[in-house]
């Protein structure tokens, strides 16, 4: 009979320990769930601050208002209009670089060669490059998981953003513009890509004078400048804009990136 109080005491202690564990676990999970939007906002602001002349808090507010509290499949390109207006930038005539299926290569190139500027090298695209985000109806938070993918719905949060940002970047194109395409695929130019369906159709003469295509090729394989898809590109290019195509290997591009500003192709 003398042992029963000890046993009872052990049971009480166990129950208390389990209860405390559950409470602590709940707090940790709660903090983790709240951490996601905070991290996203911090990343956005930190990236924005690398560009001079912008009110990054204002940019964040305009960006967030485009999708927060909304069905992530019902965010239109127009919802990002306030952000696009706040993220306006000075056009870089003769230096603007577009790309399709060459993202990593083109960004490695512009990182070494400041003569050229991609959308992601401006505040317009730099704040969101590589990120995923969305809102949810009835919520004031930003989510970075559980968001619809690019092809899940037409008006999803990320897709609408890049369509709008790409259009704004193309609207600023002037002088000689360059596009880096992938010669390792059968159709370097696709009329359904962002470059083919959104950016290139916005090039108009005389604002844009010339389109230089840099086709990244592989030795003895892939496409070249006579590719049928590039003929289609020429046929759909606005009248008054001249066209050129240069084939380059990655090794040649690396050599070009180390040269001072000038014509590499």
pLDDT digits (tens, 9 = 90+) for 208-263: 999 999 999 976 667 899 999 999 999 999 999 999 999 999 988 988 877 777 66
- Domains of the chain (ranges; CATH) run 35-257 (1.20.82.10)
Q: Can you give the C-alpha Rg of the chain in angstroms? A: 25
Residue range 75-99: mean pLDDT, rounded = 96
Residue showing tokens 């004078």: 209
Residue range 43-65: mean pLDDT, rounded = 97
Candidates 142, 127, 130; CA nearest to 55 is 127
- Asked if 265 and 214 count as a contact pair (C-beta separation under 8 A), the reply is yes
Q: How many other CB atoms sit within 10 Å of the CB of residue 211?
A: 22
User: Which tokens is 201 given?
Assistant: 């159709």
| pLDDT score of 23 | 44
Share of the chain above pLDDT 70, in %: 84
219 versus 182: the higher-pLDDT residue is: 182
- Asked if 173 and 203 count as a contact pair (C-beta separation under 8 A), the reply is yes
The answer to whether residue 184 scores a pLDDT higher than 70 is: yes
3-class DSSP state of 209? strand
Residue 134 bridge partners (DSSP) = 143
The answer to whether residue 30 scores a pLDDT higher than 70 is: no
| pLDDT score of 256 | 83
The answer to whether residue 264 scores a pLDDT higher than 90 is: no
- Asked if 147 and 158 count as a contact pair (C-beta separation under 8 A), the reply is yes
């Amino acid at each position: 009979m003398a042992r029963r109080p000890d046993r009872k005491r052990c049971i009480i202690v166990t129950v208390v320990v389990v209860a405390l564990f559950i409470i602590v676990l709940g707090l940790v999970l709660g903090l983790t769930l709240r951490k996601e939007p905070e991290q996203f906002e911090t990343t956005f602001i930190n990236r924005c601050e690398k560009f001079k002349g912008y009110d990054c808090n204002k940019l964040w507010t305009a960006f967030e208002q485009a999708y927060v509290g909304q069905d992530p499949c019902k965010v239109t390109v127009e919802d990002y209009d306030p952000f696009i207006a706040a993220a306006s930038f000075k056009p870089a005539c003769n230096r603007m670089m577009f790309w399709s299926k060459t993202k990593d290569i083109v960004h490695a190139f512009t990182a070494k060669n400041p003569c050229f500027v991609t959308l992601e090298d401006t505040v317009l695209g730099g704040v969101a490059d590589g990120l995923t985000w969305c809102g949810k109806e009835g919520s004031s938070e930003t989510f970075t998981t559980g968001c619809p993918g690019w092809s899940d719905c037409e008006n999803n949060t990320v897709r609408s953003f890049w369509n709008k940002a790409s259009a704004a970047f193309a609207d600023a194109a002037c002088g000689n513009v360059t596009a880096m395409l992938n010669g390792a695929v059968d159709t370097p130019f696709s009329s359904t890509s962002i470059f083919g369906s959104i950016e290139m159709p916005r090039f108009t003469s005389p604002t844009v004078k010339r389109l230089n295509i840099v086709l990244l090729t592989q030795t003895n394989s892939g496409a070249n400048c006579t590719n049928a898809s590039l003929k289609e590109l020429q046929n759909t290019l606005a009248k008054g804009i001249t066209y050129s195509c240069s084939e380059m290997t990655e090794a040649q591009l690396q050599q070009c990136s180390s040269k001072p500003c000038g014509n590499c192709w």
